Amino acid sequence: MSTTHTITLNDGNRVPWLAFGTGTALYGKNATDSVRAAIDNGITHLDGAQLYNNEDTLGAGIKASGKSRSDLYIVTKLNKLDPGQTVKESLAISLKKLGVDYVDLFLIHNPLPAIKEGKLKEWWQGMEEAHNGGLAKSIGVSNFRVEDLKEILDGANVIPAVNQIELHPYVWKAAQPIMNLGREHGIVTASYGGQTPLVRAVGGPADRVISTIRERLERTRGKPVSSSQVLTKWILQKGAIVVTTTSKVSRIKEAIDTENVPDLTPEEIHALEAAGSLLHKRAYMAEVFGE
């Protein structure tokens, strides 16, 4: 079993819809075995970051898998720049840790470090230089708000391919304007934290709706469907890339299997979003959004 569905970016590159993330549970930890397990079970899209402090073990997991570089889609993210350091120089350090010559996607992890220095545009110019130098096939951003996107779009030579943001029903109202602006420019949304309603907001207003949808999907499919798959399917139907992380092979297989789960109906999507609008719950990057 492996992921077959891909999403085409605005630069023509294609990205597998499901990514294995090395943050959250693996933050600052050795990711070698988890990454190899993900690859061995069919995930080819691997999402890392300088901030996670484990790019070297992400690289070790890739090497241990024996997979050809051309069969993998590797992502990392720029955390911050040392005084006098360029974006290209920072990415070159990451590439050495990862053991590869290029990444498929390179993102600015968080706009705040650049904003505090008044250098957001300058950082994006550095991203473009890394892209033009062949160190990253695609470039994009992460945790960018509408105003951050507008700032770099003004004068950009390369439009961001991706904006990776927290996405689930409890932040849907806040995410919509960001996704709408992205759509105007062909910027694909990548999602993280998609299981927040199930793991960080148990007992919330979406619980009953998720359960009802899950039961209907099981009847339609004639096979088990998990609550996690309901949320992942919702994200997929928004046209977004899904980044997930887990230490369990069974969860990896379950995530991949979401491709085979029937779609949510328009009425189910509306019900889930209506329930989500009753509670705002952001699990990550609250400081970016002033929360």
CA angle at residue 170 from 140 to 240, to 5 degrees? Answer: 35
The helix/strand count (H/E) of the chain reads as 12, 10
How buried is residue 73: exposed, middle or buried, by Cβ count under 10 Å (0-12/13-18/19+)?
A: buried
Residue of 147, 140, 87 whose CA lies nearest to 115: 147
Q: Which residues are catalytic?
A: 52
Calpha distance 159→139 (Å, rounded): 8
Residues in the chain: 291
Any bridge partners for residue 229, and if so which?
Answer: none
Contact between 46 and 69 (Cβ < 8 Å): no
Is 168 within any annotated ligand binding site?
no
3-state secondary structure of 76: strand
Two structure tokens written together for 21: 């993330």
Any bridge partners for residue 107, and if so which?
Answer: 77, 140
Residues 138, 39, 143, 189, CA torsion sign: positive
Contact between 108 and 124 (Cβ < 8 Å): yes
Calpha distance 57→54 (Å, rounded): 5
Contact between 61 and 36 (Cβ < 8 Å): yes
Any bridge partners for residue 190, and if so which?
Answer: 164, 241
Tokens 């990862």 sit on residue: 98
Any bridge partners for residue 143, and if so which?
Answer: none
Q: Which residues are annotated as a binding site?
A: 109
Q: Which residues are annotated as a binding site for substrate?
A: 109
